[in-house]
Amino acid sequence: MPWRGRPPGDEIGPGEVHLWRASHAATSKPPRLDCLDPAERQRARRMLMPSQRKAFCFARSMLRVVLGAYLSVDPERLRFATTAEGKPYLPGQKLRFNLSHSGDGVLLALVHGIDVGVDLEATGRNIDVDALAAASLSEAEWLGIDAIDEPERRRAILRQWTRKEALLKAEGSGLVYDPRDLTLPGGIAASTPARVRRGGRIWTLTDVSLGEAWQASLAIEGRICAIRGYCLGW
């Protein structure tokens, strides 16, 4: 998928996903702190680690800048609400979104009128993949893990983790559902797109290619007709 560095102007068609990526290590401009609301600023102030605070502010300001451009609204005027499960949304808008950040990277998915989820993991982070597997794989998925050699074993666990996170975020159940209770089709080694039926709805899961430094997955309600990639350069 080519990534385009152009401002948003395209309308999002049915089953289409607009993906925006950015890196706060690769931009010379600081995040737009002026567009964050009081709750976001207070949340940032509670973060003790400067790196964590910077990553949060960058991701939230990116979210506001991109959404504001699509909606022709000043970023600071956007008002978010959350579902009972904690998933953010824009009241009264058909534009749906989901945000994920890891390390210095941010990935934002936008769709029109359907639910979407995205998850991003920096593969170079000091991640205990055995602990991650224990926290995320179902009993059926464990059966195939020993047959996979490193480094593909690490990649397979990260892929399964990000796919489950993306799906649960799309559903809005990410904070309350145990990923070990979810078995994805195709087995632990599957890297092709998958279709999952849950809660009376059908979801499509697929990887997002960002290079060896990242593992990213996308979940969308229904079928994915097209994915358009954009890079945010401030």
Write the single-letter amino acid at 184: L
- What are the structural domain ranges in the chain? 3-231
Query: pTM for the complete prediction?
Result: 0.92
Rounding to the nearest 10 degrees, give the CA dihedral for residues 189, 126, 25, 52. 110
Q: What are residue 109's DSSP bridge partners?
A: 19, 98
**For residue range 11-61, what is the model confidence (pLDDT) as tens digits?**
898 889 999 999 877 666 666 778 899 999 999 899 888 888 888 999 999
Reading the block at residue 129, the tokens are 């993949």
pLDDT of residue 175: 63
Reading the block at residue 32, the tokens are 């737009």
Instruction: Please state which architecture CATH assigns to domain 3-231.
Output: Alpha-Beta Complex (3.90)
Strands 105-112, 16-23: pairing is antiparallel
